[in-house]
Amino acid sequence: MSLKPRLEFEQMSSVDLAAEYCDRMVKREATGPGDVEDAMRRLEAKTGINYWTIWGFRYRRPKTVAVHVFQQVRNAYLHFCERELRNLEHELTVEAAKGDADDFQDLAAEASALAAKIRKARLK
């Protein structure tokens, strides 16, 4: 999955940005093409975002989005990214423990630092 350039994100409306966040979370949560609905249900349970809100952003994009809904989606996305980084940090730590791999230790430290930055952004 390719990331859009930062400038393109800066020009997106809050509705488009929330839809992008929902889409990315669903794509990462889904285990395959037939799992999209279940992935949206799992995201509802994990994030507290209503299933129909996620569905709407994916399939029938609203014209506007309430500030509190946008903030909820943004925070959920940042939390999702933080969790992904924690998983990556764990994998890198495991690889570093397998042998003489200072590179893995450095990468794990960078992943941890980035996760901390994301946590700080989420709590603003």
Instruction: Tell me which residue range forms the domain holding 111.
Output: 6-122
* Cα–Cα distance measured from residue 35 to residue 83, given in angstroms and rounded to the nearest whole number: 21
The tens digit of pLDDT for each residue in 75-88 reads 999 999 888 888 88
Mean pLDDT over 2-7 rounds to: 53
- Structural domain contains residue 112: yes
* pLDDT value for 16: 94
- Structural domain contains residue 109: yes
Predicted confidence (pLDDT) at residue 1 exceeds the cutoff of 50 = no
How many independent structural domains does the chain possess?
1
- Structural domain contains residue 1: no
* pLDDT value for 30: 94
* pLDDT value for 90: 85
DSSP per residue over the chain, as a string?
-PPPPHHHHHTS-HHHHHHHHHHHHHHHH-SSGGGHHHHHHHHHHHH---HHHHHHHHHS--S---HHHHHHHHHHHHHHHHHHHHHHHHHHHHHHHHTT-HHHHHHHHHHHHHHHHHHHHHT-
- Structural domain contains residue 89: yes
- Structural domain contains residue 34: yes
The tens digit of pLDDT for each residue in 111-122 reads 888 888 887 877
Reported as a pLDDT band with limits 50, 70 and 90, residue 123 is low
